[in-house]
Chain A
């Protein structure tokens, strides 16, 4: 009760003028893309012969982007590319100076719109190595690392 009286008095003392203002309440959802999981592209054991077949392997990136956000997916040329050709590099003691070129192609569109975090998208990439390229190589493991960027 005392508080109400006090307020009334103050209002009268300020020449009784009123005012009003509109106050905006705003927010903006930041367009976000987030990667949840990565499946490497693993060819496993490449078994040589005198006429080996081409071999394919599939990897994937599971991600989501904010609903309505247009995004594009880009994979770089990896760590060991030469003249536009992606290459794995030998990482064993016997094959450290050897390279195995491979093609990388997306299985789906690299442009789309996000559906939000509850609807992740599996972006699959298929890689292929040619038999004629791995037949002359030395025994041992090979590896490359490709950076996949999903950008609004």
Chain B
């Protein structure tokens, strides 16, 4: 009598043995990299400077269009250019007639030195205004002058 009972018990035990599942956490990660990208540059171009007995000061606008990642704090810096004398920016003559001459200029901007990005969908335009004095270019030789300023937008 006891054998069938044992048999039933064994059968029940066999069916109750669980199949063991396994689970685990899988992380999904990403990082939005803080980026500043300059999209467009418009040079500061004074064009032809015409000398005269009372030559006026001349201004010329330039701009740098850029964007920075939303939420990214960045700074804007403008170098003194390739031909500065101390803190005075200068264009240098690039023609044979004026290669030893310089024309000082100032560069101003109303943009804050630092700000926070709003993402690639919202371009920011940094306007730069260059000014040369009539008294400075009135004494120069004929020919082209040039300088290169580095604008850095840095996180």
List chain A positions with a Cβ less than 8 A from chain B.
21, 24, 26, 28, 30-35, 38, 40-50, 57, 59, 61, 63, 69, 75, 78, 86, 88, 94-95, 100, 102, 104, 125, 127, 129, 134-152
Contact = CB atoms under 8 A, between A and B. Distances in A.
Given A30-B17, A44-B30, A142-B31, 9 more contacts: A38-B24, A48-B33, A61-B26, A104-B28, A127-B28, A138-B72, A147-B24, A147-B25, A149-B22
A35 B13 CA distance: 26
B48 interface: no
Contacts, number: 159
Contact of B25 (A24, A38, A127): A38
Nearest to A60: B26
A83 B2 CA distance: 59
A29 B48 CA distance: 93
A46 B30 contact: yes
Given A24-B10, A129-B30, A140-B71, A30 B24 contact: no
Contacts of B69: 48, 138-139
Contact of A26 (B10, B30, B33, B120): B10
12 contacts: A31-B20, A44-B30, A47-B33, A49-B120, A50-B67, A61-B24, A63-B22, A86-B28, A88-B29, A127-B28, A136-B121, A139-B34
